[in-house]
Structure 1
């Protein structure tokens, strides 16, 4: 009986340390693992396993001892795939594929989204608009919907990049269908439930916030910041923000009644939410995000800027406190890093930069302090999975698992 109890306790702990969707359990970049050792920065990561996969920008997710990722193969036929591996050994457990044609899509490497795992099912959206629901244990198909053919979705220049969001019995997809920036599908059948929002598809994963006792679905598109009712798709409000080339990518940030979006070409805009929405401040030159999602703590935002690297600035005023001058990830026309809270209570963060380096850093309103860095994979824009003391990362050739301490 004691052995059974210990096994159940261990299983519960491991599952509590899953990374089942893009940016973690709540989609907000919080890792905060249990048992972080005081000397974690001196613990050299140990590679557990690596395996060959196809190309893609989509992040890695982990649930109940299984690792999920999407890729694309060009031969013998062009397909997108969802792959599932054993988290301990790296053994491939199953794969599921569907035919695609990327055509003239820009940056046509592979899928851009992360698999979302819930209640034993795996939900995914491919770059050309194919949405699938699979049994997460066996890979058996439960439903498949081509949102372009079925819902009138329009593939944007760089393909669909917004990961599926699960809300109750619905799967929310930001695909810019006719008369609906977001469509909601029944999670069990794939049947359409509602569609809403005026915009075409952007590249930003929608998020659900709660304000003044009501839930709102924030969907940032290429022409508007949109607030929808997540139960019905009805529009609460829209605010114009037309983006050059439609690159609404970085995840919006909402705290303390303030909503921030930030784009490469036209910079950051923040809004105070009340019964509607009011512009609070904007900065078109000095706070220009691209793909990297921001972190927030105690009124301060940490977000990668296209020119100055990682700056810290006040959410409510836009006052810039410092920047790292491109030391954490290489300065580039399209800079990228995936940033998460490692121990939020102690201002410790971890990031995977575009060169494939894992960097530990302390972030405070006064300064940033790099603690250490380790090379773990090749060049990548894909978000890794931080699960317990493990890190799972991918590039265009491999999926790699590391034990961090």
Structure 2
């Protein structure tokens, strides 16, 4: 099946554009006026929304493919790369003993070396590495999960067993480190610590705390605990997302019991909306468009709600819809993008890439082409980034897929095989790592290599 349309979509059907008959959209303008090109300093880019300010990029895949500027060997990992200036940062794991298995409900025990490594972005030359011995006791044990975060002349790294470190970007010199299990009393979740460090105004925020406070705020200069918030049995796996709310900045935190708004200064909770994904798998970051917040997870779990300001100045939460087995898109590995009132994301239960009306939850269309390639598959994944009017999808099959977002249909403008899928899940080969986009290029990894692919016209 190439694409499935839903009756709830009233738009007239058109046809998917296969690679053999691709055409470019004449006069496509990525950005009007002067736009400064972005670095990719952490998870989902500089604004945590998957957007990339860049011009002069390919709009289709040329017949000869894309230029691969360099490939360098790396170890195991789900962690995505981060890029700032002339440097690329990546976390990985070099296994020495034990069997790395992907049993959904059990922890594999393996030993080896966990690292943060730094490369020259132009040549791929290894500049420095920060390495330490580590023992994993987690499910899906193929390396660290969290993308490094770059803030100024520092980089922040979180390992799968809770090794948090701040280092100098230029030299790799250790500034401070913290063992979250020893220092905070945290317990390693079944699938490891996954919350990408979020750095903001002198603080580091993580969903990695103990039961009396899943959201932790650490001093950026020392790593010492400032406050904890959101008591819950487990912290989950989601990132902390900054949002400019009605009354100022707020942190959106999705834990296994609710989506919450928290003050970045004090940890005070502004509101919470109940949301309980199966297996405590709160993974995808909450998304915001205007006054509407969307969050979802495994088990037909999802909600969209509107935040308004009451007469007293306090926020008012109005629920718009809840996920069912016929509405919404329950997301996990890949965080959805919201574009012009439409949610574009991956259904973690069927593996379909789907478009959904943000305000109603009605499903518009779905396709397996950018995720599994051709069939239903649990946790079928495509990581989404956006530049101008195009999506740059990194499929679990190892392909870069160019897509034109459209509420009526799936429109593919071409694909290029970047990496081999070196991991496994549910009986199929996969590569699950969000790439970075910077310098008119894509930086992507599997469990064997990191690659730079040129995207300039």
State the Cα deviation string for residues 218-263 of structure 1 (Å, max 9, x = none). 1111112122111111111222222221011112111121111111
1:48 is aligned to: 69
Query: Does residue 1:138 correspond to 2:171, yes or no?
Result: yes
> Where in structure 2 are the equivalents of 1:5-16 lying within 5 Å?
16=37
| Cα separation, 1, equivalents of 2:300 and 2:257 | 12
1:318 is aligned to: 361
Asked if structure 1 preserves the Cα contact closer than 8 Å seen for 2:166 and 2:174, the reply is yes
Offset of 1:284 from its aligned partner?
A: 2.4
State the Cα deviation string for residues 272-310 of structure 1 (Å, max 9, x = none). 223143322012214222211111111111111132611
1:125 is aligned to: 158
Paired residue secondary structure (1:312): strand
In terms of fraction of residues, the more helix-rich structure is 1
State the Cα deviation string for residues 6-45 of structure 1 (Å, max 9, x = none). xxxxxxx999431111111111100242222566656721
With normalisation by structure 2, the TM-score equals: 0.81
Pick from 70, 88, 102: which aligns with 1:67? 88
1:398 is aligned to: 449
Query: Does residue 1:180 correspond to 2:222, yes or no?
Result: no
State the Cα deviation string for residues 291-332 of structure 1 (Å, max 9, x = none). 1111111111111113261111111111222112x1111132
Q: Any stretches of 5+ residues in structure 2 without a counterpart?
A: 1-33, 98-110, 309-314, 422-430
Paired residue secondary structure (2:54): coil
Q: Any stretches of 5+ residues in structure 1 without a counterpart?
A: 1-12
Offset of 1:51 from its aligned partner?
A: 1.2
| Cα separation, 1, equivalents of 2:444 and 2:382 | 13
> Where in structure 2 are the equivalents of 1:29-40 lying within 5 Å?
29-36=50-57
Distance 1:278 1:46, change over 3 A: same
Paired residue secondary structure (1:180): coil
Distance 1:168 1:376, change over 3 A: same
Paired residue secondary structure (2:176): strand
Asked if structure 1 preserves the Cα contact closer than 8 Å seen for 2:149 and 2:156, the reply is yes
Pick from 397, 400, 419: which aligns with 1:377? 419
Pick from 233, 239, 255: which aligns with 1:205? 239
| Cα separation, 2, equivalents of 1:16 and 1:98 | 35
With normalisation by structure 1, the TM-score equals: 0.91
Higher relative contact order (CA 8 A, sep 6+): 2
**Greater CA drift, 379-388 or 68-77:** 68-77
Asked if structure 2 preserves the Cα contact closer than 8 Å seen for 1:243 and 1:265, the reply is yes
Number of residue pairs aligned between Structure 1 and Structure 2: 388
| Aligned-pair Cα RMSD in Å | 1.9
Query: Does residue 1:196 correspond to 2:229, yes or no?
Result: yes
| Cα separation, 2, equivalents of 1:22 and 1:308 | 22
| Cα separation, 2, equivalents of 1:178 and 1:245 | 16
Asked if structure 2 preserves the Cα contact closer than 8 Å seen for 1:308 and 1:323, the reply is no
**Greater CA drift, 128-137 or 227-236:** 227-236
Asked if structure 1 preserves the Cα contact closer than 8 Å seen for 2:79 and 2:147, the reply is yes
Query: Does residue 1:292 correspond to 2:334, yes or no?
Result: yes
Pick from 362, 382, 388: which aligns with 1:337? 382
Paired residue secondary structure (2:208): strand
Distance 1:288 1:203, change over 3 A: same
1:361 is aligned to: 403
Paired residue secondary structure (2:407): coil
2:426 is aligned to: none
| Cα separation, 2, equivalents of 1:72 and 1:15 | 35
Offset of 1:185 from its aligned partner?
A: 0.9
Distance 1:365 1:43, change over 3 A: farther
Distance 1:41 1:276, change over 3 A: farther
> Where in structure 2 are the equivalents of 1:78-227 lying within 5 Å?
78-103=112-137, 105-199=138-232, 200-227=234-261
Asked if structure 1 preserves the Cα contact closer than 8 Å seen for 2:351 and 2:379, the reply is no
| Cα separation, 1, equivalents of 2:153 and 2:385 | 26
